[in-house]
Structure 1
Amino acid sequence: MNTAIPRLPEPDWRQVTALPIADNQEELVPASLAQGRLACYPAYYKLGIPNAVPECYVRREVYLRLQAAARSLPEGLTLLVLDSWRPYSVQQYLYDTLYNVIEHHWPSKSDAELEQLTREFVSVPSTDPRAPSPHLTGGSVDVTLVDDNGLMLDMGTLFDEATPASHTAAFEALDRPSPREQEVIEHRRTLYRAMTRAGFTNLPSEWWHYDFGNQLWAWYGGHGRAHYGHTYPESLENRWRKEVDRRIG
């Protein structure tokens, strides 16, 4: 049996965003390059989220560590990337959508309370170079496990399900888990073990969310600074513009 998932505190965002960033300028690479036990399924694009991209981009080191995590899984399992780098507009859409749902359910709550509840599952949209949203850095990944038929394992909740049961260690608190709940516990432990051994840290409110290199990773990992700040995939237009600028210069 895998070791129990520890119950970690929620991030103190003031401390998280106070950590310095020394971006190493590592490029983004498409996770769809992977073969074998690492796969990519851009969930937001498939769901038709406005401006979502049909690819899962990650920093190069993140890609290599995902490969390491996938290789460490038990035979028959594949690591599936559901989301990674995302445009600011997608981050804003996700934040606004969840905020509005929560506000509709609890209209009496203050703006501060609504923001706190929303940030449990979606970070505040930000391209501030000192405090970018984690998914805008290319260092955050949303992942799950699939079996040898390509079907997602039962993780207790759906990806992006905004409920207390989505907290990574939620099922660890059960005194007498049912057979199905025990299976969920094992699945989450398997994912957690593979990802943390590969150097990732987990966001405790989301069993699917892992970080490397960004401010969340630095905070949970006890590192003095982050390696990744706000970034974006290089486009053909940008590449040509840089080449023209070099020639003119």
Structure 2
Amino acid sequence: MFLAAAQFTPVPRDIDANAARMAALITEAAGRGAGLVVFAELALSRYDLEAIAADPERMTVTPDDARLAPVREACRAAGVGAVVNAPGRGAGGSRPHISSFVYGPDGTLLTRYDKLHLSGAENDLFAPGTTDGRFTLGGIRFALATCFDNTFPETPERAAADGCRVYLASSFHDSPERLTLYAEMAQKHGLHILLANGTGTGTGVDNPDRPACGRSSAWLPTGELVATAGDGTELAPGGGSELVLTDVRDQITLMADPAVAAIPVRECAEPLVDVRTAAPGLLVSGLVQDARGAFAHLRQGTLRRLLAAQESLPDGLRLQFVEGYRPLALQRRYFEEYTDELRAAHPDWTAARIHEAASRYVSPPDIAPHSAGGAVDLTLVTADGSPVDMGTPINASPEESDRACYTAAPGLSPAARANRRVLSAALTAAGLVNYPTEWWHWSYGDRYWALETGAAHALYGPKEPAG
């Protein structure tokens, strides 16, 4: 997954204008391959404590505020997530918070984080939060922190202990020297760190005549700085902007991860149905077939969501079903054949490394979503069934496609990038999750789905079709 830190100078006291700017940056970042966009501290309102204190009713927001509709719609349309830092309205008329609203690729709220550690004049206006910020997206567990939070060593320490791989910091630092702590944090705790820092001046800050220093940046877990923006001094309010992108796609959760196998299954006994008869409006490809027609079966719940996704597609596009259910014996054969290929190509690799590499492309049989009937391989086609550019053929391996099969792969054509976004937005909104190494693989109800969505258990275990 690619992440983007969006740096711009907000318009004073104009939440509508700033939300529109955020929406445009989300769209731009998605076009460059980002799966998540992060904004600086109080980017929605500007870091303007005087304005917030003078009119808290107008200058504070809730996650479902109508003024944030452009942001939510941009996420949904582009199929990406966003971390929007804003003056968050307190419950029941209590003091507001400095809040990060995390919106998912379907535009709905994934989580809200309220800044734990307030600084200076913030204490006179805001209330501190009480819990750490955590969420999972694209198989990656993220930690959230806001500016002064980052000066407390226990903040990144808890993030690493909680299994977070990426640490997102929304800040309003006014000195480049303050940014040096992030490299040390990344190296010490083995975290990818993405900083979205503010630009322009604020009110209520320690140095009112000293603007925020920009330089939004990304660090690898080694502490290496891999991307940085300018200082932002040339950015007028509402004017230019800059995006910093970083790649954490190697940090996705693979099917071989013990966390997937650890998910319990509470089988709901939902039957497998043949999509060819149960959903005659769904176009079925002849690419994958078997004598018993097992490939054309899905759990009812997965099929229902698939049809809902198809209904939401833009005019002129439809889904093409390629493969659903896969018997355990066939899944085992596919996995063993691919591990044999990898073993022959890499005789120096350990068995554990081969197993992990194989799981990028074929699920280990004991947890395979296809064998539970919850997974489907599919693509987009035109209304008459003609193929559209998806960047790679369906079922292209990471080796033969140079990882272009990864859903968020860089270097795709604009058409392929746009088509993947359309597919992702429709299926995500319908409740399915993607396996990020295969743009065509989506599932519902299986263990991987449960891990991705935070469900307490999977709904579907290995299944045999009736008869």
CA shift, 1:148, in A, is 2.4
CA shift, 1:115, in A, is 1.0
CA shift, 1:106, in A, is 1.4
- Compute the TM-score of the two structures, normalised by the length of structure 1: 0.81
Matches within 5 A, 1:155-194: 155-163=390-398, 164-171=403-410, 174=411, 181-194=413-426
The one of 250, 255, 261 aligned to 1:17: 261
Kept after mapping to 2: 8 A contact 1:5/1:169: no
Matched residues in 2 for 1:210 and 1:14: separation?
Answer: 20
The one of 78, 91, 115 aligned to 1:3: 78
- Whichever of the two has the greater Rg, that structure is 2
Change (3 A) 1:136 1:153: same
SS of match in other structure, 2:415? helix
SS of match in other structure, 1:81? strand
Kept after mapping to 2: 8 A contact 1:82/1:143: yes
CA shift, 1:223, in A, is 0.8
Kept after mapping to 2: 8 A contact 1:31/1:55: no
- Compute the TM-score of the two structures, normalised by the length of structure 2: 0.44
TM-align CA RMSD: 1.9
The one of 343, 354, 359 aligned to 1:103: 343
SS of match in other structure, 1:145? strand
Change (3 A) 1:155 1:214: same
Matching residue of 1:140: 375
Instruction: Indicate the structure with greater strand content.
Output: 2
Kept after mapping to 2: 8 A contact 1:5/1:168: no
Matched residues in 1 for 2:449 and 2:297: separation?
Answer: 18
Matching residue of 2:288: 44
Q: Which amino acid in structure 2 is aligned with residue 74 of structure 1? A: P
1:65 equivalenced with 2:297 (yes/no): no
Matched residues in 1 for 2:328 and 2:437: separation?
Answer: 22
Kept after mapping to 2: 8 A contact 1:3/1:189: yes
Report runs of 4+ in structure 1 exceeding 3 Å deviation.
4-7, 51-55
Change (3 A) 1:96 1:185: same
Kept after mapping to 1: 8 A contact 2:302/2:374: yes
Kept after mapping to 1: 8 A contact 2:294/2:465: no
1:35 equivalenced with 2:261 (yes/no): no
Q: Deviations over 1:127-186 (max 9, x none)?
A: xxxxx3211111111111111231222211111111211111113xx4xx6xxx000000
Matches within 5 A, 1:192-231: 192-231=424-463
Kept after mapping to 1: 8 A contact 2:294/2:326: no
Kept after mapping to 2: 8 A contact 1:21/1:227: yes
CA shift, 1:43, in A, is 3.0
Matching residue of 2:327: 87
Unaligned runs of 5+ residues in structure 1 are 127-131, 236-249
Q: Which amino acid in structure 2 is aligned with residue 142 of structure 1? A: D
Matched residues in 2 for 1:104 and 1:44: separation?
Answer: 26
Range that drifts further, 111-120 or 144-153: 144-153
SS of match in other structure, 1:66? helix
Matched residues in 1 for 2:260 and 2:353: separation?
Answer: 19
Matching residue of 1:232: 464
CA shift, 1:76, in A, is 1.4
Matched residues in 1 for 2:428 and 2:385: separation?
Answer: 23
Q: Which amino acid in structure 2 is aligned with residue 198 of structure 1? A: A
Kept after mapping to 2: 8 A contact 1:201/1:220: yes
Q: Deviations over 1:81-139 (max 9, x none)?
A: 1111111121122112221222222121111111111011101122xxxxx32111111
The one of 389, 392, 395 aligned to 1:154: 389
Matched residues in 2 for 1:208 and 1:52: separation?
Answer: 23
Q: Which amino acid in structure 2 is aligned with residue 225 of structure 1? A: H
CA shift, 1:216, in A, is 0.6
Change (3 A) 1:44 1:201: same
Kept after mapping to 1: 8 A contact 2:295/2:326: no
Matched residues in 1 for 2:370 and 2:288: separation?
Answer: 13
Matched residues in 1 for 2:292 and 2:326: separation?
Answer: 7
Instruction: Indicate the structure with greater helix content.
Output: 1
Kept after mapping to 1: 8 A contact 2:275/2:298: yes
